[in-house]
A and B are shown apart, each in its own frame.
Chain A
């Protein structure tokens, strides 16, 4: 113990210096406490207090993140725990926007608003989860990975089971919690093995790579594979995708929209971090090839399963699995151009999914239609809604003139560039598969306009399209998607790496 005493002042100084890079998270921490206090004492008198405080707080967080974007840190801070570099700051911008959209979404969701528990606690959980996701994209230490993934996971379990108003919701929450806990326990065991092999938890440390290379491929493969299980749960790639459709269907729609975007994007950032430290040398086994295989299977499985779905949220869940496979392709093609393509695609992906779930939620609230065959004849009754829905689905498919097309184009060209430089057969197969599943995805997306416009319903119901806040919000998102489809440089010029 006495050996450490002279170092204490040095350590304290380094912590204080590191705080400079931690402003967004500090604000989130303070905000978390403030929101709980406000919800306890003031929410009865001022109904909007919690919402206003949270959105104002997230605005401040966004401001600090933008400040960080101008002056990112080149080194790790907090003695190698986190690395707030430029790439992670871009991810933090996306995550902050996703959280803001989620906040607006729950404000206009009948199911959550009308519940007597209120949405105050949900705001606090959102802030905690955003804190976890920010740590996730910055982490450079195995302990930080575990800590942040658990922070996000535990928060998301509560989000899914927040109302528990129906049997399905509790079932979704239970499946999510049990599956997630098993995956994170496996990840922790994998980390303990990696720690045993390398003697360090800091995965950008050179000792980490050399330690992994010194053991047999089988041992390091098992250990790293177990860590991948934990990340794979967040990304929901095959074979860790079983929970996705069930949880997406059962959870309240705003929560589904959040799960499909926020934690997934943070998981991709984490994957890039880890691959970055493993790459370069043939450390253990060729992870790129395994991930390429996973990407291929995920693309095919996600898109083909989506064809048979009748429930809209289930269909969107499988389509998001398909998108995961596609994004994995851009993670593999992670060069200078690949980074740009990935960030562009992920931001568009977040906007598209948010808009799609908002519209599905609106249709469900207005007409009670949860399944595709119940959409029959709704196109005339809810004209604006379905018009927007079709544009969003076109963008999810990746057809012009939407931003989804530009995103796919950027990913494909980054992958082609990688093929030209490496000549890897796997990349070529992935590119071809990516193009083919885009065609397949048309088959299930087209079911929405097909039912809504061309088929007639047997029983007539009176529905009037009352434009709520949610419709204006999705109109706004759709306009962004269209504008970015025509002028992508509005966003790409912003991404300078």
Chain B
């Protein structure tokens, strides 16, 4: 059986890649992909540790909910990004700065 630390290391790496993609923000879609990485890192953790929680199965349930919610969030965000493109003709968050101090 694969030890659980391996899962944790992989999920930590996934999370860091996602966070980097989200923070370096060259492209709004890339930010969304980064967010998806982060959520999937969390899901991996939940499923891996769900194996030790066979009675309540909390981890598995959270994984299912997280997948659905991530899809809902991405759908809304994509619709918003489409609207942004209509006005700015770019989806680079750094170039979209009408609102600032």
Contacts and interface: CB of A to CB of B under 8 A. Distances in A.
A164 B83 CA distance: 7
A170 B80 contact: yes
B101 A192 contact: no
B53 A178 contact: no
A440 interface: no
Contacts of B76: 154, 157-158, 177
B88 to A, nearest CB: 6
Interface of A is mostly: helix
B59 A195 contact: yes
B49 A195 contact: yes
A172 B99 contact: yes
B93 A167 contact: no
20 contacts: A146-B62, A147-B65, A150-B69, A150-B72, A161-B83, A170-B88, A174-B28, A177-B77, A178-B32, A178-B35, A182-B35, A185-B18, A185-B38, A186-B38, A188-B38, A188-B66, A189-B42, A191-B62, A192-B43, A195-B59
Q: Please indicate which of the listed interface residues B25, B66, B79 has the most CB atoms of chain A within 10 Å of its own CB.
A: B66
B58 A191 contact: no
Contacts of B32: 178, 181
Nearest to A168: B98
B99 A168 contact: yes
Interface of B is mostly: helix
Contact of A308 (B87, B88, B101): B101
Contact of A171 (B22, B42, B56, B96): B96
Given A177-B76, A181-B77, A201 B86 contact: no
Contacts of B77: 157, 174, 177-178, 181
A325 interface: no
Q: Please indicate which of the listed interface residues A164, A168, A196 has the most CB atoms of chain B within 10 Å of its own CB.
A: A196
Contacts of B86: 164, 170
Given A170-B87, A171-B99, A181-B77, A192 B42 contact: yes
Interface in A125-156: 142-143, 146-147, 150, 153-154
B95 to A, nearest CB: 11
Contacts of B53: 199-200
A158 B99 CA distance: 19
Interface of B: 8, 11, 15, 18-19, 22, 25, 28, 31-32, 34-35, 38-39, 41-43, 45-46, 48-49, 52-53, 56, 58-59, 61-62, 65-66, 69, 72-74, 76-77, 79-81, 83-84, 86-88, 93, 96-101
Given A173-B83, A192-B42, A153 B73 contact: yes
Interface stretch (A53-61, A109-117, A245-253, A369-377): A245-253
Q: Please indicate which of the listed interface residues A166, A174, A250 has the most CB atoms of chain B within 10 Å of its own CB.
A: A174
Q: Please indicate which of the listed interface residues B25, B39, B61, B99 has the most CB atoms of chain A within 10 Å of its own CB.
A: B99
A167 B99 CA distance: 10
Contacts of A142: 62
Contacts of A191: 42, 62
A309 to B, nearest CB: 8
Nearest to A142: B62
Interface string A185-212: 1101101110110011100000000000
Contact of A178 (B31, B38, B65, B88): B31
Contacts of B11: 189, 192
A206 to B, nearest CB: 15
A175 interface: yes
